[in-house]
Structure 1
Amino acid sequence: MTPFSVLDLAPVPKGATTAEALANTVSLARHAEALGYRRYWLAEHHNMVGIASAATAVLIGHVAGATQSIRVGAGGIMLPNHAPLMVAEAFGTLATLYPDRIDLGLGRAPGTDMATARALRRGLSGGDEFPQDVVDLIGFLGEAEEGQKVRAVPGAGTQVPVWMLGSSLFGAQLAAHLGLPYAFASHFAPGALDDALATYRRNYRPSQAHPEPYFMLAINVFAADTDAEGVRLRSSMQQAFLNLRRGTPGYLPPPVEDIAAIASPAELAMVEEALKVSAVGSKASVAAKLDALIARYAPDEVILTGQIHDHAARLRSFEIAAEVLAG
């Protein structure tokens, strides 16, 4: 059985409050834990009213405190926004509070627009410093050396597992070079998936913590009792992605019966290409698509995401997916 996990952006549905969105995140995390999901990851985004996971480390602590055994982590922390020492201290604290349950995925993008990136006060050159920042962060989480002047307290010695996230060859190459597990953002940027995976596996350099490459595939899932209902549920994510590309991001829209009625053919083609790594529809349809993706990419783990407007339908979607993957 391929292990399966959850990626959550804490979406704020249109008509709901941020407090309700955060309560939904806790509800889904508990549901996922009961269904056998391995991890529950949260993603850092800023200046987006429809996403409530900006203070990612804070929310990770909240979710970890509301669950018992599921691993909780970042998918990911956008490292250019942060000083490596502060990330090490935050996740060292989480690992001290919740031993052997915290993961730290690292991304290179700012997770927002350039104006907001400037407001985050790490400048716009973080991408150029990213490889060294990753190395520094891993060092802060390792055992402190005698005479070391700067230590992460808490953090040093916690050995929080670090993952590389990516949607291009850059992340694949860095993950391979450093001997880190690698998660590809195929749920919204699948264009370089095949090349990135081949690069990662071909160039992997074993590390002490990870003697073998470990690849996680991200998949959108919109599962329901019928194919038609799964397609309808997916329309919320399609609209959200379309609004983002139009420069008008907002709350997660309610589903529509016909997405073609509110988007041009060119826009629909763009959305379909971006979201093509998706399993949509009834249990049988979702099973067929998940089986095909796992057979093609042979991931060591899959991480499922699905921005669905109705919380009960979202819980049901992850339940159906778990039934498929555990079967």
Structure 2
Amino acid sequence: MTPLSVLDLAPVPAGGTARDAVRDVLDLARRAEAAGYHRYWLAEHHLSPGVASAAPQVLIGAVAAATSRIRVGSGAVQTGHWTPLAIVEQFGTLDALHPGRIDLGVGRSGQKRQEAAGRAAAPPRPAREATFVDGLLIPTPYDTSRAARSPRLLLQDSLLRQAGARAPRFTDAIDEVTALLDGTLQRDGVDAHANPGEGASLALWILGSSGGESARVAGERGLPFAANYHVAPASVLEAVDAYRAAFRPSAALEEPYVLVSADVVAAPTEAEARELASPYALWVHSIRAGDGAIPFPTPEQAAAHEWRPEDLDLVADRVETQFVGTPEAVVAGLETLRRVTGADELLLTTITHDHADRVRSFELIAEAWTRSSERTSANAPGAG
């Protein structure tokens, strides 16, 4: 059975607090473990009133302590915000406390913004029409330039790094993380040994949203790769294809291993699921407009919002690719995503205003996924 895992942003609901959100993380992690989910990853987001996952390293330790079996990790720590040594020491400490259960997922979002700030804006790429690939919607890409020019993001980047500091190239950062974990880093004739960190039993992952550097580096280094259908659905196939094309066997992996994320909301009826998911567009818009994630609205607040056509266009790809409905309908969509991308594992993220609805969604999907897998196994040639 293809494993299911959880990505948690520690969402803050409208009327709630960061303290509430962090406590909800621990509750959801326990419930996800009981439901059979394989991993529990925490995202890294900053300066957003609606997201409390600013320090995933801290939350990972708390989640690992509150659970016993499920793997726990980052989805992802951003190399533009941390030095390789800081990353290895932090996650080496987590591994020392919870050996064999920690995933180190890294991404380059913060680094991309730093790189973009130093060069002229690229001309917009020609619009591509939405299409279906074997039943999976590959939407029209959205224009990222609006968010990239956000004063909030520029302030965020300036607050997350020392004055004058520049992040290394992503390839160099990954190689330095790997060398520190292996104990082979040397600079100017001096050996560098991270303690804790060196020799840690961490699983190193790379997350990416396109067929660019992240996918290529993951493949060339023989590392597992997580592709973001929930963040950048228009480029998910490019990402997994680029990763597989670049893959070289390593000590970590003999063959490519692909995890694909998806945004999901399940409820006993489609009508209820649609209502629970209705604030999602408004929440996504707050991020893509460059304002930072707002506290997740109630369905009533979402219904009262007046949309402009250009604002709807900004969120269309995310809304159209969210899997929403009964558990069976959501599982059918996830099966399509798995089949088309060839995913070895799926990473699910769900945000609703009420925590109890989010927990129920994950539990319903896990139950329906197991039933679907059992039926598939029973109907396989030679079964029985």
TM-score (norm 2): 0.80
How far residue 121 of structure 1 moved from its aligned partner, in angstroms, is 1.4
Report what 1:25 is aligned to: 25
Does structure 2 retain, via aligned residues, the 8 Å contact 1:204–1:213?
Answer: yes
One of 357, 360, 363 as aligned partner of 1:319: 363
1:223 and 1:321 in contact (8 A); partners too: yes
Match of 2:235 in 1: 192
Structure 1 residue 254 displacement after superposition: 1.4
User: Aligned match of 1:156 in 177, 198, 208?
Assistant: 198
Query: Does residue 165 of the first structure (1) align with residue 213 of the second (2)?
Result: no
**2:80 alignment partner, SS class:** helix
* Matched AA of 1:223: A
Cα distance change of structure 1 residues 55 and 182 upon mapping to structure 2, 3 Å threshold: same
| Separation in structure 2 between the aligned mates of residue 94 and residue 303 of structure 1, nearest angstrom | 22
- Aligned-pair RMSD on alpha carbons? 2.0
State the shift of 1:116 in Å.
1.2
Structure 1: distance between partners of 2:306 and 2:166: 38
TM alignment of 1:113-124, pairs within 5 A: 113-121=153-161
- 1:246 is displaced (CA, Å) by 2.9
- 1:84 aligns to what? 84
2:358 matched to 1:310?
no
Shift of residue 245, structure 1, vs aligned partner: 2.5
Q: Which runs of 5+ in 2 are unaligned?
A: 114-151, 372-384
**Per-residue displacement from partner, 1:249-303 (whole Å, max 9, x unpaired)?**
3211112487595323343243221344321011222122122212211200000
By how many angstroms is 1:97 displaced? Answer: 0.4
Which of 295, 312, 316 lines up with 1:268 in the alignment?
Answer: 312
Q: Which amino acid aligns with 2:106?
A: L
Distance of 1:189 and 1:178 partners within structure 2 = 23
Distance in 2 (alpha carbons) for counterparts of 1:138 and 1:276: 38
Looking at structure 2, the residues matched to 57 and 48 of structure 1 have their Cα atoms a distance apart, in angstroms, of 18
Kindly state the Cα deviation for residue 25 of structure 1 after the two structures are TM-superposed.
Answer: 0.3
- Mapped to 2, the partners of 1:178 and 1:144 lie a distance apart of 16
Aligned to 1:140: 180
Deviation of 1:188 after TM superposition, in Å, equals 1.8
- Contact 1:5-1:303 at 8 Å conserved across structures: yes
Matched, 1:237 2:280: yes
Query: Shift of the alpha carbon at 1:80?
Result: 1.1
1:225 alignment counterpart = 268
- Pair 1:261–1:58, CA change in 2 (3 A): closer
SS at match of 1:169: coil
Secondary structure of the structure 1 residue equivalent to 2:161: coil
CA distance in 2, matches of 1:247, 1:195: 25
- The reply to whether residue 176 of structure 1 matches residue 219 of structure 2 is yes
CA contact (8 A) 1:221 1:321 kept: no
Equivalent residue letter for 2:193? R
User: Does the Cα contact within 8 Å between 2:44 and 2:75 map onto a contact in 1?
Assistant: yes
Give the structure with higher Rg (CA): 2
Residues 75 and 165 in structure 1, CA contact (< 8 A), matched pair in contact too: yes
Q: 2:340 aligned to 296, 312, 315, which one?
A: 296
1-structure distance, mates of 2:71, 2:35: 13
Whole-angstrom distance in 2 between the partners of 1:156 and 1:255: 48
Distance (whole Å) between structure 2 residues aligned to residue 215 and residue 312 of structure 1 = 30
The CA distance in 1 between the partners of 2:243 and 2:207, in whole Å, is 12
Do residues 98 (structure 1) and 141 (structure 2) align?
Answer: no
| C-alpha separation in 1, matches of 2:192 and 2:35 | 42
Question: Which stretch of structure 1 is more off in the superposition, 108-117 or 155-164?
Answer: 108-117
Counterpart position of 2:146:
none
1:213 aligns with 2:253: no
